[in-house]
Amino acid sequence: MRPTQQLHEHGQSLWLDNITRSMLDSGQIQKYIDTHSVTGLTSNPSIFDSAIATGDYDDAIRDESERGLSSEDIFFNLAIADLQRAADLFAPVHERTGGVDGWVSLEVSPLLAYDSAKTVEAAKSLHARAQRDNLFVKIPGTSQGLAAIEECIASGVPVNVTLLFDADQYSAAADAYLRGLERRVAAGLDADVGCVASLFISRWDVAVATTVPEELKNRLGIAVGQDAYRTYRDLMESERFLRLANSGARVQRLLFASTKTKDPTASDTLYVAGLAAPLTINTMPDSTLEAFFDHGAVGATLARDGEDCDELFERFAKAGIDKKALAHRLQEEGASAFATSWSDLLAKIDAQTHSPREAR
């Protein structure tokens, strides 16, 4: 049995953190479903920025531009078309698991990260346009995003909460989800609205790589994951959630994101092998998925009590790492990076709409 299937047998979902039109056309995503136990897919502005740079979308962009659309409208038309195809590929998984798995994700404009009202408006519009039951709209877990998450869940829009960096930010996102569900239950509406909470892992170790002792390198990300998993399990067992579950609600599954190893001296499957846990998700780019499929090892699942993460946090604190401040900084930097990628991809689209078709 391949390591990817072993991880699936442990109760964790493997999602692909990538999408391009060529991957859809070539059958690569279907192959990952069939052979690599992939059961969902995520995307973000950086992924689409890289995809558009390949030239795969040149003709489609030109066709869309001839309709007089803005660069943003062109992008969303292209992205929605791709994600509809991906959603259809994962629809059998979605049906087989009763809606637990088989999801794809589309992000609202990162420029809205600090505007609740416009985020809600965009999320509702994108979900309606996509017309797929297994499509999440990604909303960043910023303070302004939390209000948008609550409103979207209350309105029945499935949400992938992105840009979460520690247990406190995860808890705030979970609270927004629960508030949205409580509003639905109070209004007599269906409490089954899909949601996942995406915790970014590898950026922690990148951030402290040059400031901590050798023995602490590449250990902070997994410790943060352990802490968040402990909080997640506490939430699942809380009376607040159990009351909602009695009305038909599901847990907001914890998703481990940014799980590609950035340190070339570390294992290329570090954040997959180290974060195995039931009823969670690990989303990873092609290279990490292929590496784990080829030579990954599945060990023990994450401990319910967080194992040694508290002791590790104390050691990082002694090394001068303010974890709470760093989590806040990482979230701000992540939102800024996505906004930059967004601006870059819109600039690429704009440049292609103004260049002759035969010149490309």
Q: What is the Cα 158 distance to its own chain's centre?
A: 13
Q: What is the Cα 215 distance to its own chain's centre?
A: 29
CA distance 104 to 17: 10
Q: Which amino acid is at 32?
A: Y
| Coil, helix or strand at residue 76 | helix
| Tokens read off for 68 | 């007089």
Tell me which residues are annotated as active site.
Answer: 138
Place of tokens 């808890």: 171
**Strands 104-107 and 280-284, how do they pair?**
unpaired
CA distance 245 to 267: 39
Neighbours of 227 (CB within 10 A): 22
Rg for the chain, CA atoms, rounded: 20
- Cα–Cα distances (Å) from 317 to 168, 313, 322, 332, in that order, read 17, 6, 6, 21
CA distance 83 to 20: 9
